[in-house]
Each structure stands twice: as C-alpha cells, then as structure tokens.
C-alpha cells in the first residue's frame, strides 16, 4: 500500500519498535538470500531490553539524542540500503546481511552505562563510544553463536560510523565487510539528518556534546548555525568518498518497495536544511525565537519549561 503522503515519516513510524521490526523483516523477505528473520527479531528485542535497562549489567539508556529511536531509524535505513544493493546486483549472503544488521543495532550501545557507573550520563562517552560498542559486540556475537571472525568484522563495520575516520585506516577482512561498513556508516548519517525532528533534536545533541566536553560548540544556536556547513563540507564528502555513494541506492529501494521513484532521505534532508535557513534568517541571535520556532516533538517546549 502506497502512503497518502510521500514523506519519509509516512512510510514507517520509527518511534514504533513493532513497526520498525515489521518493515525490516519485510525487506529481509525481499532479498535474494533469505536472511534469518528470527535472529533479527532476537537482536531487535535485545536492543530494546538494553536501551530500556532490562539487560543484565546495564542501566537504561539516558542519552536523549542517541536513543532507541535513533538506533531503530539507522537499522531500518541500513536494511533499505541492503535492498538497494541487491537491486543493483550487489547481493550479500544471508550471514553477511545478519552481521551488518547486528552491527547496526548495537553501533551506539557504547553510550549506555553499566550498572556500577552512576555518574553523569552516557554522553560522557561520546568520544570513543564506538570502541565501547565494539567491546559489547565482542561478547554478544559469541553468545549468538557467530563464527570467530564475526566479532572482528562487527568491529570494523562499527568503526565506519566514526565520522572523521578514513576507511583506509580500517583493516577489513574482505570487500564484503567493507561494503557493509559503508552501508552502516551511510545509514547512520542519513537516518539522523532526514529525521523530521532533526533540528529540534540538535538541541538534545548539544546537551550530549556539552557533557562530553566537545569543543567548537558554545551554545545550541552555534550548533544550529554550523549544521549546514557540517552537511556540505563533512557529511556529503563522507557519503560520496569514504562511504562509496551508497546513499544513491535508496531510490532503487523506494521504487521497488513503494512504487515511488525518489530518494525520501535526500528530500527530507533538503527540507530540514531549507527550514533551518529560514529559522536562521528570522531568529538571528534570539534564543527564545529558536525555541518558539522549533516546535516538533515538543522538545523545545520541554527545554523551555525545564
């Protein structure tokens, strides 16, 4: 069934874990090599447990930007790209598809604190959280019964989400693992910037940056101001060069899945940047104006009242 409105958020509600899982499994059923859908369901459930504080040894996730919804959005984007790859003739074996999806689901779990870690939030691990995610994955894939090389493969895939890391610095075991890393790295960027509430969520990202002590962002407004430049000089370059233009395969997926020959991610990102430009023009240096204008999701309202 084709949605009434051709917007990314109308296709699948990424805030609904059941809807995300259903779509990921559906896309999995469309792939030439039958992926283990039961295993995906297990991974999906374990992620919910981990972020919700029901996983042994871990507290609930308390980072407001890098939350469960973000993880689900990235996992869905990665599965869409794998479908696009298959339509382009780049066909992954079932075991590799599962490896890529597992890596996607757990790429940010390094931001979750252990039970003993009660100081601050997981945002303090922003710098280097990928290696913490890898440490978790090392044990997790063993528990799932993956082959010995899987832990190292997951590590290299997750390292592709490190924004400033050249892929030439990553020791991929073979071209397939590199392609999976490019997919996951691409999905991570697209899912964030195409989110309809992306601009509002940047207010939450600033809180994470502030706790982590990241330099270069003295205020929420400064982060918003730098977003367009970040996309044009960092994101677009990484998508096209380091990540191999995988984003272009989204059109093939949406055409085959929904009968709509367009890239919903690219459209959503453009809409967000256009809206940001209007806000910058209207609000200038007025923080109250920003909070009043960024109304989606009630995020700014909660910040103003808090």
Task: Tell me the CATH number for domain 12-305.
Answer: 1.10.1300
pLDDT of residue 115: 97
Kindly write down the DSSP assignment for every residue of 70-122, as one continuous string: HHHHHHHHHHHHHHHHHHHT-PPPHHHHHHHHHHHHTTTGGGSPBTT--SS-G
pTM greater than 0.75: yes
Token pair 């447990």 in the structure block, residue: 49
pLDDT of residue 3: 47
Segments of the chain scoring below 70 in pLDDT = 1-5, 300-306
Domain regions of the chain by residue span: 12-305
C-beta pairs of 122-129 under 8 Å, 24+ apart in sequence: 122/61, 122/62, 122/63, 122/66, 123/63, 123/207, 123/208, 123/209, 123/211, 123/212, 124/211, 124/212, 125/212, 126/208, 126/209, 126/211, 126/212, 126/214, 127/212, 127/214
d(CA 75, CA 96): 15
pLDDT in tens, 110-145: 999 999 999 999 999 999 999 999 999 999 998 888
pLDDT of residue 157: 98
pLDDT in tens, 285-296: 788 888 888 888
């Amino acid at each position: 069934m084709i949605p009434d409105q051709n917007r990314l958020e109308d296709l699948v509600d990424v805030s609904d874990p059941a809807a995300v899982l259903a779509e990921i499994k559906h896309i999995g059923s469309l792939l030439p090599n039958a992926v283990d859908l039961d295993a995906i369901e297990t991974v999906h459930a374990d992620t919910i447990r981990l972020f919700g504080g029901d996983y042994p040894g871990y507290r609930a996730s308390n980072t407001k930007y890098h939350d469960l919804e973000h993880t689900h959005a990235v996992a869905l984007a990665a599965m869409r790209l794998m479908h696009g790859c298959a339509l382009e003739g780049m066909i992954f074996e079932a075991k590799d598809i599962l490896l890529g999806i597992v890596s996607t689901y757990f790429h940010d779990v390094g931001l979750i604190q252990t039970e003993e870690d009660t100081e601050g939030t997981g945002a303090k691990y922003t710098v280097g959280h990928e290696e913490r995610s890898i440490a978790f994955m090392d044990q997790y894939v063993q528990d799932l019964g993956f082959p010995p090389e899987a832990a190292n493969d997951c590590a290299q895939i997750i390292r592709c989400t490190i924004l400033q890391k050249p892929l030439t610095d990553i020791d991929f075991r073979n071209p397939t693992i590199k392609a999976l890393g490019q997919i996951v790295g691409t999905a991570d960027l697209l899912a964030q910037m195409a989110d309809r509430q992306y601009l509002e969520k940047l207010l939450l990202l600033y809180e994470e940056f502030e706790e982590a002590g990241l330099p270069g962002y003295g205020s929420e407004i400064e982060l918003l101001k730098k977003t367009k430049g970040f996309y044009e000089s960092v994101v677009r370059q990484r998508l096209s060069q380091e990540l191999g233009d995988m984003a272009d395969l989204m059109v093939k997926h949406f055409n085959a899945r929904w009968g709509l020959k367009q890239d919903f991610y690219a459209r959503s990102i453009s809409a967000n940047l256009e809206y940001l430009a209007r806000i910058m023009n209207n609000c200038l240096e007025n923080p109250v104006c920003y909070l009043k204008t960024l109304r989606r999701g009630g995020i700014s309202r909660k910040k103003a009242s808090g």
